[in-house]
Amino acid sequence: MILILLGPPGSGKGTQAKRLSSERKWPHLSTGDMLRSAISAGSKTGLEAKSYIDQGTLVPDSVVINLIAERMSAPDCKNGFILDGFPRNISQAEALQKMLTSQKLDIDHVVLFVISDQALIERLSGRRTCSSCSTMYHLQGAPSKTPGICDQCGSPLIQRSDDQTDVVRKRLSVYAKETEPLIAYYRDKGKLSQIDATQPPANVSEQLSRVLK
Ligand code: AP5
């Protein structure tokens, strides 16, 4: 199964990818998580990516394509994987297609998460993430039992630097310009399904399962 989760920032791609990955044992490949790990590790890739992420713009294609190519070649990806946050523009989609074709593989489904900008801004401004294990919370929708502390590992919760309102607005405009053209690209290839991402997480999971049947 090669599945792409496509949708704007905050639409719930990461939440659903984590659920699906734990239920079905498909590796979850998130370029955002990979870049944030590279930043935490202080690597050359992380240093290069940080200013783009902090401004809400896309990291150069060459950087993310290399990251994803290396991850896709790992043994645990041989039976498929979930792509979350990649591809993010037409040139990344074309690079992905080339990589898959060279391995005689193809995309099974592209699932578009549909939600309004106003709901996205509310979700992202309330999102908190564990600084250690990356478990996600929301101040109103999914709070931790003790404010500011992760239920899973007891580490402090942080707000992502790119979840400040002005950066969120920039990310939404980058999505509209760079990523939305992928909707027509995958629809034309007959791969696209869409789900209502405004529903509660369990309901979104059900919609996703129906698409994958
Ligand atoms: P990335 O980390 O990929 O961020 P994103 O795509 O902007 O998506 P998010 O992680 O913000 O949101 P999500 O859709 O996963 O929602 P989530 O489940 O977290 O990218 C960050 C940056 O890295 C980019 O801006 C760019 O600079 C760079 N980058 C990454 N990939 C790149 C690429 N391919 N090319 C170039 N640059 C790249 O949920 C959000 C919140 O809502 C949470 O609090 C959650 O609890 C809550 N929530 C989730 N689902 C629901 C629900 N159904 N109902 C209510 N609340 C919900």
pLDDT, tens digit, for every residue of 156-174?
999 998 999 899 999 999 9
Among 2, 1, 4, which Cα is nearest to 110's? 4
Q: Is the CB of 8 under 6 A from ligand 1?
A: no
What's the average model confidence in pLDDT over 56-69?
Answer: 97
Q: What is the dihedral of CA 93, 184, 58, 148, to 10 degrees?
A: -110
* pLDDT value of residue 151: 97
Ligand 1 atom at minimum distance from 160 CA: 11
* pLDDT value of residue 26: 96
pTM of the model: 0.95
Q: Where are the alpha helices (DSSP H) in the chain?
A: 13-24, 31-41, 44-55, 61-72, 90-102, 117-126, 165-174, 181-188, 201-212
* pLDDT value of residue 134: 85
Q: Is the CB of 201 under 6 A from ligand 1?
A: yes
> Which residues are catalytically annotated?
13, 88, 127, 160, 171
The fraction of the chain above a pLDDT of 90, given in percent, is 94
What's the average model confidence in pLDDT over 113-138?
Answer: 92
Whose CA is closest to atom 26 on ligand 1? Answer: 58
Handedness of CA 114, 117, 118, 119 (dihedral sign): positive
Quote the ligand 1 centre to 153 CA distance (angstroms): 22
* pLDDT value of residue 16: 97
pLDDT over 90 at 58, yes or no: yes
Q: Is the CB of 46 under 6 A from ligand 1?
A: no
Cα-to-chain-centroid distance, residue 89: 14
Per-residue b or e along 53-71, where b marks 16 or more CB atoms closer than 10 Å to that residue's CB: beebbbbeeebbbebbeeb
Sheet of strand 157-158, all strands in order from the earlier edge strand to the far edge: 136-138, 127-130, 157-158
Residue 143's contacts (CB-CB under 8 Å, 6 or more residues apart) are 137
Ligand 1 atom at minimum distance from 175 CA: 7
* pLDDT value of residue 65: 97
Q: Which of 19, 31, 137, 166 to mutate to test the pocket of ligand 1 (most atoms within 8 A of CB)?
A: 31
pLDDT over 90 at 208, yes or no: yes
Quote the ligand 1 centre to 85 CA distance (angstroms): 7
What's the average model confidence in pLDDT over 27-48?
Answer: 95
Rg for the chain, CA atoms, rounded: 17
Ligand 1 atom at minimum distance from 171 CA: 25
- The rounded distance, in Å, linking the Cα atoms of 74 and 112 is 26
Exposed/middle/buried for residue 3 (C-beta within 10 Å: 0-12, 13-18, 19+): buried
Counting every residue, how long is the chain?
Answer: 213
